[in-house]
Amino acid sequence: MVVDLSELALKAGLADYSPVRGCMVIKPYGYAIWELIQKELDARIKECGHENAYFPLFIPESFLKKEADHIEGFAPECAVVTHAGGQKLEEPLVIRPTSETIIYHMFSKWIHSWRDLPFSVNQWANVVRWEMRTRLFLRTTEFLWQEGHTAHATHEEADGEALRMQKVYYDFMTKILALAPIVGQKSDSERFAGAEKTYSLEVLLRDGKILQAGTSHCLGQGFAKAFEIQFQTPNNELEFVHLTSWGVSTRLIGAIVLGHLDEKGLILPPAVAPIQAIIIPIYKTEEEKNKVLEECQKIASELKLAGIRHKIDSNDQTSPGAKFNEWELKGVPIRVQIGPRDVQNNQVELVRRDKCEKLKNIPRLGLPEKIQSLLTEMQDYLYERQLAWREENTYSADSIDELEQILETKGGFIKAHWNGKADTENKIKELTKATIRVKAFDEPEEKGKCLISGEESLQRVYIGRAY
């Protein structure tokens, strides 16, 4: 099984390496997936009342330094512009690694009264983080994402908003991406730089590793104080706002690929497949070709009417067999095969990418409806399969040896007791190369002893090796 994302992403035409270290070119097929992600998620974000805006790529260096934890977390990975217009700049400009600072600078100008709250903005943008090691889609130097920022009058409201957006992500990932993330809260050491609490969504991939697919932060008042975002209460008192920020990135494409792939290549959930049905004509003679292609055109126009994203692979130079393999590699959900026999009998052959089963003698009449129902079935099936995969690969460990053994032989999520402290967390990481991924919300209470310290613990946490 090809589980190497880089190889698969290159072969399937999602992306290519660029001349710049750690940066990728997202090719049309990969970008089309991103556009579908954007479209679906953007609608959900707007339903929450958040509007889109755009802030500058450049951030004055001094802005980043205003929040102590934030600069400490991000300084090592910032790209900084020191020269422009042929001259050394008065103040260096950081290329945004994230936009909290510049957005909150603006918030302080825009928010004055309790009547202005809650206040929110979302932006779709690129950010740059000079990571030591990069990997196509999972960790690139420049990546695309969406970052939402909200300001609230109370801590409870801000925390509620951070949780609400995490739920929006959960809903999006399960319904649209057919992924089954564990949702919960990050440990202190894995928390976002400058945040009070970080909520995350952790996906178990098919190679047994874990991917943080999205985060939502309750920032408390730290940034508000650093950027002096104050408002007057109805009682005429000055108070600092409570902020949240939340984001998902092009990493989601990596999550889709690694969450669903099989030995033949990608399997795209229908909801984000740029091509949902690929039509492959099969013929020998010129006469057959004309008849078959004519029928393909008819099918295409019916699919268009039905709102199914499709394409006819009319390439004359490759054999049908080659096309089958090509589109399987690219993960197209439904393949429509049609040859002279089918035209004759008013039927087609369909193949579902996930199960790879051939459905012969499908009546030509009502084909769009049939394809639509298969797409729906496949979307559900992929989610069920992901969920089952996660459940089958979630284990419990009650000692560090047991934890290590499961990591070595199986991978996956391992639930274990932990005392909640940083030193024991580091120790686990040191010993096993695995990290505490998340404290799940729906984890039942259970008395136990910390793997390292033996201290009392009331709840298991999820541990695993992550990307």
Residues that bind RNA (CB under 7 A): 6, 17, 20-22, 73, 76-77, 129, 131-136, 138-141, 143, 145, 192-193, 200, 212-215, 247, 249-251, 264, 282-284, 289, 316-322, 324-326, 328-329, 337-342, 349, 351, 356, 358, 429, 433, 466-467
Give CA–CA dist 270/408, Å, rounded: 34
Taking residue 423's Cβ as centre, other Cβ atoms within 10 Å add up to 10
C-alpha distances (whole Å) from 355 to each of 109, 126, 221, 352, 458 are 55, 36, 50, 6, 42
Minimum Å distance from CB 400 to RNA?
16
Which H/E stretch holds residue 202?
A: strand 197-204
Coil, helix or strand at residue 314? coil
DSSP state of 229: -
Which amino acid type is present at position 407? L
For residue 118, whether the previous peptide bond is cis, meaning omega lies within 30 degrees of 0, is yes
Q: Positive or negative, the Cα torsion across 437, 439, 441, 446?
A: positive
Cβ distance to RNA smaller for residue 45 or 111: 45
Facing residues of 217 across strands? Answer: 198, 245
Give CA–CA dist 203/213, Å, rounded: 6
Minimum Å distance from CB 238 to RNA?
32
Give CA–CA dist 129/290, Å, rounded: 53
Cβ distance to RNA smaller for residue 251 or 439: 251
Q: Which of these, 224, 199, 213, lies nearest to 100 by C-alpha position? A: 224
Cβ distance to RNA smaller for residue 113 or 319: 319
C-alpha distances (whole Å) from 245 to each of 137, 147, 164 are 22, 7, 12
Cβ distance to RNA smaller for residue 127 or 451: 127
Give CA–CA dist 144/34, Å, rounded: 9
The pairing of beta strand 230-232 with beta strand 238-240: antiparallel
The pairing of beta strand 79-84 with beta strand 87-95: antiparallel
Minimum Å distance from CB 466 to RNA?
6
Minimum Å distance from CB 235 to RNA?
37
Cβ distance to RNA smaller for residue 113 or 315: 315
Give CA–CA dist 128/142, Å, rounded: 4
Cβ distance to RNA smaller for residue 118 or 184: 184
Which H/E stretch holds residue 16?
A: strand 15-17
Minimum Å distance from CB 414 to RNA?
17
Minimum Å distance from CB 318 to RNA?
6
Q: Which of these, 146, 127, 128, lies nearest to 35 by C-alpha position? A: 146
Cβ distance to RNA smaller for residue 85 or 321: 321
Cβ distance to RNA smaller for residue 462 or 467: 467
Minimum Å distance from CB 123 to RNA?
15
Minimum Å distance from CB 458 to RNA?
26
For the chain, the residue count is: 467
Cβ distance to RNA smaller for residue 274 or 281: 281
Tokens of 289: 């070709």
Facing residues of 174 across strands? Answer: none
Minimum Å distance from CB 244 to RNA?
14
Coil, helix or strand at residue 173? helix
Give CA–CA dist 95/127, Å, rounded: 7
Cβ distance to RNA smaller for residue 18 or 108: 18
Q: Which of these, 405, 137, 166, lies nearest to 261 by C-alpha position? A: 137
Minimum Å distance from CB 184 to RNA?
13
143 touches 23 (CB < 8 A): no
Minimum Å distance from CB 278 to RNA?
12
Cβ distance to RNA smaller for residue 113 or 126: 126
Cβ distance to RNA smaller for residue 309 or 352: 352
Minimum Å distance from CB 256 to RNA?
13
